[in-house]
Amino acid sequence: MNMADREKILRFYKGTEGEETAIRLVDNAEAVNKTRKFRTSDFLDPYGQEIAETIAANYDGIRIDFDGGYNGAERQCAALIHDDFMGKVSFDIKIIVAEWNEKFYHIVHRDILGSLMGLGIDRRNLGDLLINPGSVKIICTGKIADFIMNNLATIGAASVSCQYGTLAAIPPREERCKEISVTVASLRIDSIAAAGYGTSRSKMAAEIEADKLKLNWQHIKTPSQLVKEGDIISMRGRGRLEVSQVRGKTKKGRTGLFLKRYI
């Protein structure tokens, strides 16, 4: 890839949520071209993973692999690997188990993420947070694992104790899927999300304004934003909604949809 191609990629993502991710990944790809080895990223959400795949496809002689610490991880690190590299790729992913007394504290995802980021940890260094009653498995980059071990003493009002865990002990992610057949007045995201999550359109518009939903893992600019077949809507604490099929108009002029809701 020459400088013009690099600028073409960066120009495509300029001004979007993926701009900084694209810059880092292009730099990684160019380093791989020079060293003919590999370079791994920090954790990427699914949108960042799509960017990584796009960039790898634009570099001859570079392949890509992903690892989030366990099978089915949503947040994953990307490894850009030169075809000449025959060694083993190291992602350097660690897992820390934090535990608290579940009889007295009900802790949710935002509590854990807030406590970690309150320590000054960049979200890019954190993978999935796997929550069970009384504990959470924190998947993270190796470079911050000791810092978390030494500094994470509380989550919310709960005192926690931390120890290293084993990635191999994490079972593959299992998702329940509910299939939903609905009709909507339009392909606006507030209308589709309301139908998929079983609430009113006005309440869903308020949730969007409160920045609780994302479309294809990107922030939604307005409740009137249009959705197309194949899009993924995610709502904080409510799972993901896939627009599996747009079936066309009914006799009353409404649009038929087939949705899949992953819980």
In a domain, 161, yes or no: yes
59 and 104 in a common domain: no
- Assess whether 148 and 196 both reside in one domain: no
SS3 assignment, position 42: strand
CATH number of the structural domain spanning residue 219: 3.10.290.10
| Residue at which a domain ends, from 119, 149, 169 | 169
Range of the domain at 182: 177-262
* For residue 1, pLDDT beyond 70: no
Over residues 250-262, mean pLDDT: 91
Same domain, 221 and 253: yes
CATH of residue 126's domain is 3.30.70.330
- Please count the structural domains in the chain: 3
238 membership: H or E segment, kind and range:
none
Q: For the whole prediction, is pTM greater than 0.85?
A: no
Mean pLDDT for the stretch of residues 90-117: 94
Q: Is the pLDDT of residue 206 over 70?
A: yes
Residue that is last in its domain, among 46, 62, 82: 82
CATH number at residue 40: 3.30.1370.160
Residue 150, in any domain of the structure: yes
- Of 1-15, 115-129, 210-224, which gets the smallest average pLDDT? 1-15
Within-domain flag for 87: no
- Both 201 and 162 in one domain: the answer is no
Same domain, 158 and 189: no
pLDDT at 208: 93
The last residue of a domain, from among 135, 169, 203: 169
Q: Which residue has the tokens 């490894």?
A: 79
Vertex 53, ends 263 and 117: CA angle to 5°?
Answer: 55
The answer to the question of residue 110 being in a domain is yes
What is the residue-wise DSSP string for 89-148? ----EEEEEEE--TTT----HHHHHHHHHHTT--GGGEEEEEEETTEEEEEEEHHHHHHH
Tens digit of each residue's pLDDT (9 = 90 or more) over 2-38: 555 778 888 889 988 899 999 999 999 999 999 999 9
- Predicted confidence at residue 236, as pLDDT, reads 81
| Position 88 in a domain | no
